[in-house]
Structure formats: structure tokens, C-alpha cells
Amino acid sequence: MLSLFKRYRRFLFVSVLLLYPLIAFLVSGRRGREPNFIDRAVIAVTSPLQSGLNYVIDGVVGTVHHYVDLRDVQAENDALRLENMQLRAAVQLLGETRAENERLKQLLVYAEPLPGPKIPARVVGVNPVAKLLSVRISSGERQGVLQGMSVVTPDGIVGQVIRTTGGYADVALVTDSQSRVAVRVQRSRARGTAAGMGNGPLKLENMLRTEDVENGDLIITSGTDGVYPPGLVVGRVANLMKKEHGMFQTADILPAVDTTKLEEVLVVASPYLDSGPMVEGTR
């Protein structure tokens, strides 16, 4: 019995101290009285313990509340982050749509004075074979696109339709090595040929050495090849070489259209479509 008391003496002592106020309250009932010496001693001894228990309980409760608040804040942050991403995507899509609408408006304004049917299309594919520089567009026979029609943008000529299907068409670019375009110098009206070189600038050919050509001159279609309507922009003269002997002078033509960045194009009727496309090596 004594060994049991020694083992649990601290627990029994604390229990007595904690139970004493309750016993005193029950004995005294509701009658108020001044605390005696024992009451004061018990209060003095138990106050630190009560303060410690209150501190621990308050800490645990605060930690739980803080954890719950953090969970709520994390969930709210995740929701806000997702909403922000969705809004940014919508803004980006809206900006892209606005830019596309502006390009289409320019295309339609540019198409108004051109004769014959005008069919808008999007570039939906690029030929991966370097031997044939071509793109695929989203309009074909169902939309009225025929082989031999010319393809343009408000900046200038793109190429010529070489193959059509129900809903698509393939366009040989002016930069293709088999492409030949009848052109003239807008300023002096001198005639020549713009030849595709596969990549980079076109080559000005068949321009007589006596003709008036200067670097920076604007080159336009002459309309004499039966492919492109007259007056469409081809590019500008660069690296002009006037030889002292021979019949012709040569130069580069910097294309007005960057064919590597095509998005929307316009298919227009060629002047003499019934005669067939006049591109070397018809495919």
C-alpha cells in the first residue's frame, strides 16, 4: 500500500488540489465566504498549473484553427490561380481572334477591286519536302478553287494553285525553283521575269540591259503570263548588276510576302484560266 502511494503520490497530490475547490464549493453551497489560508494556498499552488493547461489548450486550439485557415487559404489560392490561368488564356485567344479579324478585313478590302471570284482561305499545312515549296489551304473545289488560280495577300503574290480536292488545295509558292512570274518595273514599266530560287529572294531575269531599273524599284505582275492579274506586288529590286556586255541585266527581288509566315490568303481567278497554268513543270 505504501509503495503504491509513493508511486502515485504526485497524481494524488494534484488531484486533491484540484478537487479541493470543488469540495469547498459544495460544502459552502451558494453562500459567499472569504477564502481561508488553505484556499489561498491551493489557489497559489494550482494557478501555475491552470495557466499552463490553459496555455497548452489555447495553443492546440490555435494550431487547429491556423491549420484549418491555411487549408482554406490554400484551396482559395488554387482556385484563384486556376481562374487566373483561364482568364489569361481567354485574353490571349481574344487577342489572336482580334488580330485574325483585322487581317481578314484587310484581305477583303484588298480583294474588292480584283476582277472575278475571290475565295478566302487559311493555310492549314506546309509541304515538308524541300524540292517542292508549297502550302495547303482550307478551300478547294467545293469553294470554287480551280487549278491555275493565283493566291495572294494584301502584301503581294503568294503562288499558284497546282492541285485541288473537295475541301483543300495545294499552292506552289513563288519561291519554288520552278516558279516563273511575268513582271514589270512599276516606275519605268520595263518587263522581265521573276524566277523562284528555292529559298530567299527571287531572281530578276530577261531584263534587257538597256532598260531603266534601279535598286529599290517596286516589281509588280505584268499579267502577260496568264497566271496573275496585272498590278499585284511581287517585291523590290536589290543587288542590281548591270553588265558591260550581253543583252540582260540581273538583280534580286526581295519578296513582298514572307511565305514562311502565311496564315490567311485569297484565291483569285487568273486572267486566262482556260489556257492552263503557265508554270514550268506543271505538277
* pLDDT exceeds 50 at position 145: yes
If one compares 254 and 54, the residue with the highest pLDDT of the two is 254
Tens of pLDDT, residues 164-202: 999 999 999 999 999 999 999 999 999 999 999 988 899
pLDDT band for position 73 (cuts 50, 70, 90): confident
3-state secondary structure of 227: coil
Residue 245 predicted with pLDDT over 70: yes
For the entire predicted model, the pTM comes to 0.61
- Asked if 131 contacts 251 with a C-beta cutoff of 8 angstroms, the reply is no
Q: Which residues contact 241 (CB under 8 A, 6 or more apart)?
A: 249, 250, 251
Instruction: Please give the pLDDT value at position 108.
Output: 65
Question: Residue 277's pLDDT band (boundaries 50, 70, 90)?
Answer: very low
Residue 123 has pLDDT above 70, yes or no: yes
Burial of 122: CB neighbours in 10 Å, binned 0-12, 13-18, 19+: middle
